[in-house]
Amino acid sequence: MGSFLQCTFLLAMLLFSVGLTSANSATEFYWKAKLPFTPMPKSVIDSLATEDNDDVWLSTHNKAHNWTHSYEVMLKGYEGGGHCHTDSMINTDFITSTFFLEKDLSMGSKLSVHFRDNVGSVNTRFPSPRLAQALPPFKSSSLSNNLRFFNAEPESDAAMFMNLTLNTCEHPNPINGKKQYCATSLEKLVSYVTSTLGGSHDVRTISASPSGSPHRDALLPYKVVGVREVATEKNMVACHRLGFPYAVYYCHQPKATTAYTVSLVDVMNGVKSDAYAVCHSQTSEWSPEYVGFKILGAKPGTHVCHFLQFHDVVWYRG
Ligand SMILES: *[C@@H]1O[C@H](CO)[C@@H](O)[C@H](O)[C@H]1NC(C)=O
Ligand SMILES: *[C@@H]1O[C@H](CO)[C@@H](O)[C@H](O)[C@H]1NC(C)=O
């Protein structure tokens, strides 16, 4: 994966906070019709419009919202300033601690990880289908219309992210797998996932929130007490949220990638929980600037693993 794109993922992850949510009945009905046996992952619940009223969506997503300001606030947490410097992320333990080497995916390994469910203050959701018709096109050629619509100033970090997201969606990077797609609505997301996986039966998901115990928001030592393969590239689609004033998922079928359930024991209190991780075993074409290599002091070709973060969702048939 190119450093450019990886950088998008990492910073995009910071843009979403979790609000109180309950899907409205139309979306629940849609989901149940398409994926009757699959519980809706939390990441997707967090992306749904909470109400049927488009005016309320608009007032939280643009009118009253200064995107230039939101991004400035969010990026202040980084030493490198407001730009996409992997070096500044290297100082952020909830990002760095999620990366590890494949050899550490074994019984008895010790890993210090800072699990975090959400970061940031910008809560973005899918527009309703009706409202989606009224928004500027999701295209890089309509960047300036989007900037105007969402009150983002042209030279701002917000504008840089929006441009990056539009370009990422328009220019698939072959290193990320042969199929890539950006979904800007629940319907598009579900239809891409079910068509790529070849059906809606037995579709399961894993995402960042580990099950079993409430994670504390700190860098904590864990011991690996179990590793189970859950999916491989053949039956897997990975989706990551990208930075934009509304919810956008970038989905792809990563090459030579395996997803695992990793059972961890919190060394300090003995509490056991499950987390999810993916390992990439064909990385020789990746940029040496890939943030995972920098964090691990590794070179292209190294098998790199990472726990799923925030709003990542891996869908698989199993
Ligand atoms: C939005 O926020 C930026 C940065 O904080 C500020 O410079 C700008 O004046 C604000 N725009 C409006 C319309 O309030
Ligand atoms: C948007 O990104 C593209 C590709 O990186 C770049 O060529 C272009 O200049 C950018 N446009 C703006 C307005 O920043």
pLDDT mean over 200-218 = 73
C-alpha 157 – ligand 2 centre gap (Å):
12
pLDDT the model gives residue 189? 96
pLDDT tens, residue by residue, 271-312:
888 889 999 999 998 888 787 898 899 999 999 999 987 678
Which ligand is located closest to the Cα atom of residue 144? Answer: 2
Q: Chain-wide mean pLDDT for the chain?
A: 79
Q: Read off the tokens for 112.
A: 């210090």
Q: Is the pLDDT of residue 21 over 50?
A: no
**pTM of the complete model:** 0.82
pLDDT tens, residue by residue, 238-247:
998 887 888 8
Which range among 50-64, 83-97, 260-274 shows the weakest confidence by mean pLDDT?
Answer: 83-97
pLDDT the model gives residue 160? 83
- Most confident stretch, 81-95, 206-220, 224-238: 224-238
Return d(Cα 185, Cα 31) in angstroms, integer: 12
pLDDT mean over 218-239 = 93
Q: Is the pLDDT of residue 212 over 80?
A: no
At 95, the pLDDT band (50, 70, 90 cuts) reads confident
pLDDT the model gives residue 304? 94
Closest residue by CA, ligand 1 atom 11: 66
Is the pLDDT higher at 178 or at 306?
Answer: 306
pLDDT mean over 12-41 = 69
Of 19, 13, 32, 36, the C-alpha closest to 202 is 36
Q: Is the pLDDT of residue 17 over 50?
A: no
C-alpha 232 – ligand 2 centre gap (Å):
35
Is the pLDDT higher at 4 or at 317?
Answer: 317
Is the pLDDT higher at 289 or at 248?
Answer: 248
At 215, the pLDDT band (50, 70, 90 cuts) reads low
At 67, the pLDDT band (50, 70, 90 cuts) reads low
- Which runs of consecutive H residues, i.e. helices, occur in 150-269? 157-170, 186-197
Which ligand is located closest to the Cα atom of residue 74? Answer: 1
Closest residue by CA, ligand 2 atom 9: 163
C-alpha 155 – ligand 1 centre gap (Å):
12
At 251, the pLDDT band (50, 70, 90 cuts) reads very high
Q: Is 270 exposed, middle or buried (0-12, 13-18, 19+ CB in 10 A)?
A: exposed
Helix 3-12, helix 157-170: angle, nearest 10 = 120
Q: Ligand 2 site: residues with CB under 6 angstroms?
A: 143, 163, 167
C-alpha 159 – ligand 1 centre gap (Å):
13
pLDDT mean over 253-272 = 92
Q: Is the pLDDT of residue 100 over 80?
A: yes
Query: Over pLDDT 70: what percentage of the chain?
Result: 76
At 198, the pLDDT band (50, 70, 90 cuts) reads very high
Ligand 2 atom closest to Cα of residue 164: 2
- Which runs of consecutive H residues, i.e. helices, occur in 76-223? 86-89, 93-96, 129-132, 143-149, 157-170, 186-197
C-alpha 192 – ligand 1 centre gap (Å):
37
Is the pLDDT higher at 90 or at 188?
Answer: 188
Closest residue by CA, ligand 2 atom 1: 163
pLDDT the model gives residue 109? 97
Is the pLDDT higher at 154 or at 85?
Answer: 154
Of 113, 73, 64, 117, the C-alpha closest to 93 is 113
Q: Is the pLDDT of residue 162 over 90?
A: no
pLDDT the model gives residue 16? 39
